[in-house]
A and B are shown apart, each in its own frame.
Chain A
Amino acid sequence: MQAARIRIANGRILDPSQELDERGDVVIENDRIVGVHWASGHAPASSPAERVVDAESLVVAPGFVDLHCHLREPGLEYKETIATGTRAAAAGGFTTVCCMPNTEPTLDTASDIEWIHAVAHRDAVVRVYPIGAITKGRLGIELAELADMGRAGAVAFSDDGNPVRSGKLLRNALSYARITGRPVVDHCEDHDLVDGGVMHEGSVSSRLGLRGAPAESEEAAIARDLALAQAVGGRLHLAHVSTAHSIELVRDAKARGTRVTAEVTPHHLVLTHAWVAGFEEGVTRYDTNCRVNPPLRTEEDRVALIRGVADGTIDAIATDHAPHDVVDKNCEFDRAAPGISGLETAFGLLMRLVAPTNGDPALPLATIVRALTMGASRAFNLDLGTLRVGALADLVLLDPDAHWTVDVQRFHSKGKNSPLDGQDLRGIVRLTMVGGKIVHEVPR
């Protein structure tokens, strides 16, 4: 039994939504935050009835909101389920996950969306917000019933995994989705230009003899989407932006007033195509766990993504958690399913950006937390990602200095597909609370 009243005492409260970075207490009653007190304010004496969680030397932040993950249910439960995926999310500090509709069947009707809500109500330990498909069956032929899905609780629309190939159809989707108030999320990739590429086209693909997907296969698609969103005034969200020129396109479009938001993944912020060559210590060449879509790009791209997060061009950091079974990865690189199981390593990976040792532009912890909380929440117009009094008590306690070694066998996710297995990471999520309930705790 949880105490009805919990005091998170003496932590570093880091809440970008209130521009707050102070030592103090957060008090929770039932499922809401009822008090945020810091040293310069007046913290009322603790009442004997409350449970006190000692947050000394920990960071107290709003729970992370993941705009992009694959929970694989229904249909692909051998890869992941809502139960296992949300447990992984809790372990990674995510209190809300938005799940992509590329399941079997596709989530493309209101009843599919309701079904996800029902299963989540039964199995999930964090909030699950489904994303509905843009087109029926994600086939790119006819629009799905966007308004109906929106009413049922779809928070966005995406054919993720597939781009919307027809510009006309995407234009209509952006226009029509206006009545839902929900963004259209495009996985930007021109399949003609990808031409079967399995990694970034560049110095590593040409060295390893792997077919390359050029950067412009993403950039050309993003340029088209931005023009369409600008034309019809629709709300466009760009999934997993991965190249330097893509960042420039988004920056320019925002400056012109296009209603666009964008996300990047932790792996694109930290890893590069050099990982496929096995140049990193402890990484083997042709490791299929480095096969991901969009592919890991160059050092220049990676640095541009970091700058994009720093200056707000990028709104959110989203995991694109893509769990796969071992049979999907235990094969030749070309034949491996693309994707990285990312929920449980996201925070540790991102911490590598806070105090970089390799000359990267540093990304302050507050900026990372903003992209994981308020930035993400605003991109999808969710009322989350804040520690304001009265808000849902979704929060995390972060231990930024604690080290751990990634062991995929200990993942809560069914997807053990991570190139980070065996890597030393700094930054542990000590506690995750969803609606006042502690769903994950790692004792110090």
Chain B
Amino acid sequence: MQVQAPTMIGRARAETDSVQGFDGLAPCWPGRRHVLDLDDFAPGEIVQVLGTAATMKEILQRPIKKVPTLRGKTIVTMFYESSTRTRVSFEVAAKVLGADAVNVAAPTSSATKGESLINTVQTLQAIGADIVVMRHPQSGAPWLVAPRVHAAVINAGDGWHAHPTQALLDVFTIHEHLGRVRGVRVTIVGDVLHSRVARSNIWALTKLGAEVTVCGPPTLLPRDWLLEPSRLPWAVRVCERLDEALDGADVVMALRLQRERQHGGLIPSVREYSHLYGLTTERLRQADSSAIVMHPGPMNEGVEIAPDVAHGPRSVIEAQVTNGVAVRMSLLYLLFGGEAALERSD
């Protein structure tokens, strides 16, 4: 069902229809309540989000960055794990669209019992939140919240599981720089086992026809991906050696390495990890000469990525941050698209 859209979004839709590089994947937005994971997104829905994001990005470049589409709506950000970058990105997106953004300070101690999450949810109900943006260190926490609130829930990262908006902004950035997604060879390097960014990117990229390779030491790759790749829900190449993984890549995405992995016995040392898997100018010669380099941030420069790569000509890391706001505006708008249309018809 297509919603009748107000002027601004009318343009968003028009541009979406003509978005290049999706090989005929028609944008669609059947309407959804929550954004918890990308595994249940139809390819057309992702195209819709990206197309709408392109219009949002244009709005962000206007002198007066303000559209009243979500006026009167309350967006609550609730971060059980600190991430200034993601939280601020959502808050800016909300404010540009005219919504009120409220940050609920959430206890971040790992000793805090789950009960407190349920209690916080009740607070959200009392506030009258329309959208809850949540980050939580436990995989699946948004599934605990979503059925218990009237609000729409957007997962801003849960444990090792999913980070849908990061993946959408990554795909948007790839499309922006390469002009297409289908057939693009994307290599994701690093601690894939513990990475929600990798998981969500794999869903988004494979749904749009990209060819994904993941690479890391075997102790930081899910065992079943390594040993039984034929049983995975998507076709992803799994590599233990970086040179092999980089061969011909159009996009190289480095993941953050947590220093705890050394103490957890998963790698001998950060030094050796960096030696084997760190992205350096030298290594990137394996990749396509026009390959772009991405990182979800925050970076450990000198560990998973050399400073000259992070800030070099191939890096699109800054663009990722800018695009994050546009993509989040797009999602917020689409989640309330139906209601925005109603406001206009009044």
Contact = CB atoms under 8 A, between A and B. Distances in A.
Interface of A: 201-203, 205-212, 214, 284-286, 327, 330-336
B92 interface: no
Interface of B: 39, 113-115, 117-118, 136, 138-141, 143-144, 147, 158-162, 193, 196, 199, 222-225, 228, 231-233
B138 A335 contact: yes
A330 B140 CA distance: 13
A210 B139 contact: yes
Given A286-B144, A331-B144, A335-B113, A208 B139 contact: yes
Contacts of A335: 113-114, 138
Contacts of B224: 201-203, 206
Contacts of A331: 113-115, 117-118, 144
Contact of A330 (B118, B139, B228): B118
Contacts of A202: 223-224
Contacts of A327: 115
Nearest to A202: B224
B114 A209 contact: no
Contact of B228 (A203, A208, A286, A336): A203
Choose among B115, B223, B225, B228 the residue with the greatest number of A CB atoms under 10 Å from its CB: B223
Contact of A332 (B144, B199, B225): B144
Nearest to A203: B224
Given A209-B139, A209-B161, A334-B159, 14 more contacts: A201-B223, A201-B224, A203-B224, A206-B193, A206-B223, A208-B161, A209-B140, A210-B139, A210-B159, A284-B143, A285-B140, A285-B143, A332-B141, A333-B138
B29 to A, nearest CB: 23
Nearest to B221: A206
Contacts of B193: 206
Contact of B225 (A206, A211, A214): A206
B143 A209 contact: no
Nearest to B265: A195
Nearest to B226: A206
A167 B193 CA distance: 32
B118 A206 contact: no
B233 A207 contact: yes
B62 to A, nearest CB: 38
A208 B140 contact: yes
8 contacts: A205-B222, A208-B161, A209-B158, A209-B199, A284-B147, A330-B115, A331-B117, A336-B114
Q: Does more than half of chain A's interface fall in helix, strand or loop, or is it mixed?
A: loop
Given A209-B199, A210-B139, A285-B143, A332 B114 contact: yes
Choose among B113, B140, B158, B222 the residue with the greatest number of A CB atoms under 10 Å from its CB: B140
Nearest to B160: A209
B235 to A, nearest CB: 14
Contacts of B232: 203
Nearest to A330: B118
Contacts of A284: 143, 147
A210 B196 CA distance: 11
B144 A206 contact: no
Contacts of B222: 205-206
A333 B115 contact: no
Contacts of B114: 330-332, 335-336
A334 B140 CA distance: 9
Contacts of B143: 284-286
Nearest to B194: A209
A214 B219 CA distance: 13
Given A203-B224, A331-B118, A209 B162 contact: yes
Nearest to B199: A209
Nearest to A195: B264
A332 B136 contact: yes
Contacts of A210: 139-140, 159-161
B203 to A, nearest CB: 10
A178 to B, nearest CB: 39
A316 B24 CA distance: 58
A333 B113 contact: no
B234 to A, nearest CB: 10
What 5 pairs across the A-B complex have the smallest Cβ distances?
A331-B114, A209-B161, A286-B140, A206-B222, A209-B160
Contacts of B231: 203
Contacts of B136: 332
A209 B196 contact: yes
Contacts of A336: 114
A188 B206 CA distance: 40
Contacts of A208: 139-140, 161
A333 B113 CA distance: 12
A206 B138 CA distance: 14
B253 to A, nearest CB: 18
A297 to B, nearest CB: 13
A334 B161 CA distance: 13
Contacts of A205: 222
Nearest to B37: A285
Contact of B138 (A203, A207, A330, A332): A332
Contacts of B159: 209-210, 334
Nearest to B116: A331
B267 to A, nearest CB: 15
Contacts of B118: 330-331
Contacts of B233: 207
B130 to A, nearest CB: 23
